Amino acid sequence: MTDTRYLVHGVFWDASPAVPGDAGIPDGGSPVMRLQDPGGGFTDLALDAGTRLGFRLAAGGKSCLGHHKVHGPADRDHVLCPDRAQAVKGSQCERCFVVDDSRLIHDFHRGGHVPPGLRAYLMQPHWLYIATFASGASKVGTAANLRKWKRLAEQGAVVARYVARADDGRVVRNLEDLVTRDAGVPQQIRSAAKAAALTGPAPAVELDALNFGLAGVVRRLLAGAGAGGGGFEVVDERWLRPGLSDAVCGQAVRHAYPHELSTGAHGFRIDSLSGSVALARLDGADLEFVVNLGRLKARTIELGGHGSDVPAVQEPLF
């Protein structure tokens, strides 16, 4: 079946339990790359350490990944794009973008209308966290209770701490906006910046100290804001990073993967993975490269025994 054309939906950590330990897996388990076959079925490709991933790009451009209808906290439908149309809004076509429930999430706390199923999802408890990435850049973010751990695994955090538990998704987004406004913490770090930072992660102790300090600042800010609306409690809980991410988050100097993932044939062995960013070893080369597998999202690939060209690189870099 090497000639099946798969549409890549991305790297997901959601096959894992909500919180490490819930399924007897100490650190949350393993991520997958989710692939859609031409019949509309899904294949989850496990991305464990040692996985060999070989593929070639089978079409130019990006195709729509469909949209989600949310029915409740743990219940949603993934509706595939009927035409597998060209993606024009990120990884969606115009039509799927417009009908996607998740588009409404960001306006909910500003009084926007949401359908009942999405409302039930948003009314579950949520967590506010501070995540720090390999360069030392940090962000504030939110996770629904059932996605408490996975959200940070998918984000590719190097260190993170939960700073508040909110009664619902409206309260948590108000807190998030407060932290951005009063502490200057951004709500987004670009995926390309996360991947670039992993070519030379800062020392673990430095990143932990940064995250610890910022989380403390934010907790004090939230404690002072408690008299306002209420509906939350300040917490102090460290996120447990998956063991599979340890190697790529460790201090080292590495090369960025030298080939564009939008075209050509590629193949490598995955040694470690943080979010969607892999530490990969090419056949016949004793070098590790940082590959942002997120770049494959919405692209069409064929799996097979392909290999990446080994670039002529000089070692050491410094």
Q: Which of 215, 240, 102, 249 is closest to 169 using CA atoms?
A: 102
Backbone φ, ψ for residue 50 (5° rounding): 95, -5
β-strands 51-57, 300-303 pairing: antiparallel
User: What residues line the site for Zn ion (CB under 5 A)?
Assistant: 64, 81, 85, 93, 96
Q: Is the peptide bond before 258 cis (omega within 30 degrees of 0)?
A: no
Between 66 and 141, name the residue whose CB sits nearer to Zn ion.
66
Please report how close the Cβ of residue 88 comes to Zn ion at its closest, in angstroms.
Answer: 9
Please report how close the Cβ of residue 62 comes to Zn ion at its closest, in angstroms.
Answer: 11
Three-class SS state of 257: coil
Between 93 and 114, name the residue whose CB sits nearer to Zn ion.
93
Q: Which of 51, 81, 31, 99 is closest to 243 using CA atoms?
A: 31
Between 83 and 236, name the residue whose CB sits nearer to Zn ion.
83
Strand-pairing partners, residue 57, are 301
Please report how close the Cβ of residue 103 comes to Zn ion at its closest, in angstroms.
Answer: 13
Please report how close the Cβ of residue 300 comes to Zn ion at its closest, in angstroms.
Answer: 14
As a whole number of angstroms, the distance between CA 154 and CA 133 comes to: 12
Please report how close the Cβ of residue 38 comes to Zn ion at its closest, in angstroms.
Answer: 16
Backbone φ, ψ for residue 29 (5° rounding): 95, -155
Between 65 and 118, name the residue whose CB sits nearer to Zn ion.
65
CA angle 206, 177, 144 (to 5 degrees): 80
Q: Which of 270, 294, 292 is closest to 282 using CA atoms?
A: 270
Residue type, 305: G
Structure tokens at 2: 């090497």
Between 78 and 220, name the residue whose CB sits nearer to Zn ion.
78
Please report how close the Cβ of residue 10 comes to Zn ion at its closest, in angstroms.
Answer: 15
Between 85 and 252, name the residue whose CB sits nearer to Zn ion.
85
Please report how close the Cβ of residue 92 comes to Zn ion at its closest, in angstroms.
Answer: 6
Q: Which of 168, 190, 169, 187 is closest to 177 using CA atoms?
A: 187
Q: Which of 203, 197, 176 is closest to 188 using CA atoms?
A: 176
Between 45 and 85, name the residue whose CB sits nearer to Zn ion.
85
